[in-house]
Amino acid sequence: FDIYDALTVDDLHQLGGVYRHLIGFVEKIIKQQRGKATLVQQRCKGLPHYTGMKRFDKGFLLSSLTNPTYDEFRKHMQLVLCLVYDLIPLQCTLCIRAFVDFFTQINSKEHTEATLSAADEYLRLFYLYLPCFQDLSAMKAPKIHMLTKYTRDIRLKGPLDGYSTMNSERMHQVNAKKPAKRTNYRDHVSFTTQLGKFVEDRDACIDMYGPPPSPSAPLQETPTKLALKTLLNDDWARRLDDLERHDQQLYGLRRSVVLYLDSITRQRSHPISVSRCMQLHSLDIKLYQHMVLAETNEDGVV
């Protein structure tokens, strides 16, 4: 038994993260050439409309994408090679092609040994061509290493669509979503700075004064259930039934008094709600259940 086998690969952050780095490298290479960034955008706008294809009208390069999602990266992969293949070195084109092939193969709904072997071959080609970007990065990101774990996890646990990102997103609530509410949600640089400042100040306070108190007390077993079970098994059960009938009779008496006050004293043709009438606290006494209300004339005759 190995506890680390409980952890699975995370295609959202690992595959999406590696592709984000790659298109960032591509943008740096293109921007070193005068006017080529504009050419990429013109090519993107000139693409014909097609079902399922995203247009990227605001810009195709990474700097033009505002908080891109994983699905947007998938749409981006469909167009990247046809728009930049002749603007970057051939080895870079082959590297991106190998990664896109690996990404497509590894995200299949069903797998056989042949498909997994093909994915391993695409990954081997990706690592073979990857040194073309070494001038732009040291290539020491753990995400690049995690790509080697995919075929093994699929053999042991099945396709990627059955995995969860809960493990890798466990700290998002603490270090991202809750602190984000303390920012003004302005531009990316300002937002990130405010987010980091809040987390830094919070950690400093925790180090100085200790962790914050728990939002709720830990759940403990209470003797309420045992006491209730003992209560119902005793003579109290019959007393509870008597109290229930007592409340029903009391409500009937209160209703009669209200109707009497509405029709006689206040000269109303229709009753009003009980909450708006004068409350008779004597109704809480069981003695008055048998009280009869009657109207008499001046001679005392009913």
Domain that holds residue 181: 174-209
Summarize pLDDT for 77-113 with one digit per residue, the tens.
Answer: 999 999 999 999 999 999 999 999 999 999 999 999 9
- Given a cut of 60, whether residue 237 has pLDDT beyond it is no
Average pLDDT over residues 199-211: 81
26 plus 151 within the same structural domain = yes
Task: Note the pLDDT of residue 293.
Answer: 57
142 plus 182 within the same structural domain = no
Separation CA 55–CA 75 (nearest Å): 9
Q: Is residue 224 part of a domain?
A: no
Count of domains forming the chain: 3
Task: Note the pLDDT of residue 178.
Answer: 82
User: 60-69, 125-134, 258-267, 291-300: which range is least confident on average?
Assistant: 258-267
| 163's tokens | 């995995």
Higher pLDDT, 290 or 95: 95
Separation CA 284–CA 271 (nearest Å): 22
Higher pLDDT, 256 or 169: 169
Task: Note the pLDDT of residue 201.
Answer: 86
Separation CA 14–CA 37 (nearest Å): 27
H helix or E strand, kind and range, residue 260: helix 236-260
180 plus 165 within the same structural domain = no
CB 80 within 8 A of CB 30: no
Separation CA 62–CA 59 (nearest Å): 8
User: 49-58, 125-134, 155-164, 167-176: which range is least confident on average?
Assistant: 167-176
Q: How sure is the predictor about 245, in pLDDT bands with cuts at 50, 70 and 90?
A: low
Q: Is residue 302 part of a domain?
A: no
Q: Is residue 191 part of a domain?
A: yes
- Given a cut of 70, whether residue 254 has pLDDT beyond it is no
Q: How sure is the predictor about 302, in pLDDT bands with cuts at 50, 70 and 90?
A: low
79 plus 153 within the same structural domain = yes
Q: Is residue 223 part of a domain?
A: no
* Residue reference for tokens 């006017």: 35
Q: How sure is the predictor about 261, in pLDDT bands with cuts at 50, 70 and 90?
A: low
147 plus 181 within the same structural domain = no
CB 133 within 8 A of CB 139: yes
- Given a cut of 70, whether residue 180 has pLDDT beyond it is yes
Average pLDDT over residues 122-140: 91
162 plus 270 within the same structural domain = no
- Given a cut of 50, whether residue 227 has pLDDT beyond it is no
58 plus 143 within the same structural domain = yes
- The residue among 121, 148, 170 that closes a domain is 170
Q: Is residue 184 part of a domain?
A: yes
User: 56-65, 136-145, 261-270: which range is least confident on average?
Assistant: 261-270
149 plus 180 within the same structural domain = no
Q: Is residue 43 part of a domain?
A: yes
Q: Is residue 219 part of a domain?
A: no
56 plus 118 within the same structural domain = yes
H helix or E strand, kind and range, residue 95: helix 90-106
Q: What are phi and psi of 94, to 5 degrees?
A: -65, -35
Nearest by Cα to 123 from 141, 150, 142: 150
130 plus 202 within the same structural domain = no
Average pLDDT over residues 181-208: 83
Burial 112-142 (b: 16+ CB within 10 A, else e): eeeebebbbebbebbeebbebbeeeeeeeee
199 plus 243 within the same structural domain = no
65 plus 43 within the same structural domain = yes
Return the amino acid letter for 67: N
Half-sphere exposure of 155 (CA within 13 A, CB side): 12
Higher pLDDT, 23 or 163: 23
Q: Is residue 46 part of a domain?
A: yes
